Copies of this chain bind each other. A is one copy, B any other.
Amino acid sequence: MTVKSPVTEKARPQGCTNYRIRQLMRQVSQFYDAELGQAGLKGTQYALMAHVIQLGPLRPGDLAKAMKMDASTLTRNLKPLLDAGWLSRSPGPDGRSRSIAITDAGRDKWRQAREHWKRAQQRINGMLGEDRVMALHSLIDESLDLLAPHEPTGADS
């Protein structure tokens, strides 16, 4: 009865994509936060530290770009990690920029947290099934690519 067309009517998206993603984010992040909380980190902080470890000392702006988040958000997200001594902020080469780096304590903390992260990821894999998680990852990755504002690509001129 909800089908209004007799033949060859293409199905269309129903409901709000935004609300769905938000809801999923709320549910999922609680699992990660519950596990990572045992190591004293939130999911976002774990991810932030992972990027700093991976990308080495770098400027806040570049880090924000890498994580596709607003620079002002990053500034604030850095604060608790700097206060805890897990990251350091030193003057950058350029007088107007800074340099963010992982500290030894930060590296230790992250390695410890990584074990908790693994458990969280395994719980999610278990609840959703690995195939579904992989499908979700693929779909999200594709979507992120399609939504990303195409930057000039080439270094021409």
Q: Determine chain A's interface SS by DSSP, over half rule.
A: helix
- B23 and A68 form a contact (CB under 8 A): yes
| Given A146-B127, A147-B128: A140 touches B12 (CB 8 Å cut-off) | no
- B135 and A139 form a contact (CB under 8 A): yes
- B132 and A24 form a contact (CB under 8 A): no
Residue of B nearest to A14 (CB): B137
The count of residues in chain A whose C-beta lies closer than 8 Å to any C-beta of chain B is 52
CB distance from A119 to the nearest CB of B (A): 13
Binding site for B on A (CB under 8 A): 10-29, 31-32, 43-44, 47, 67-69, 117, 120-121, 124-125, 127-130, 132-137, 139-144, 146-148
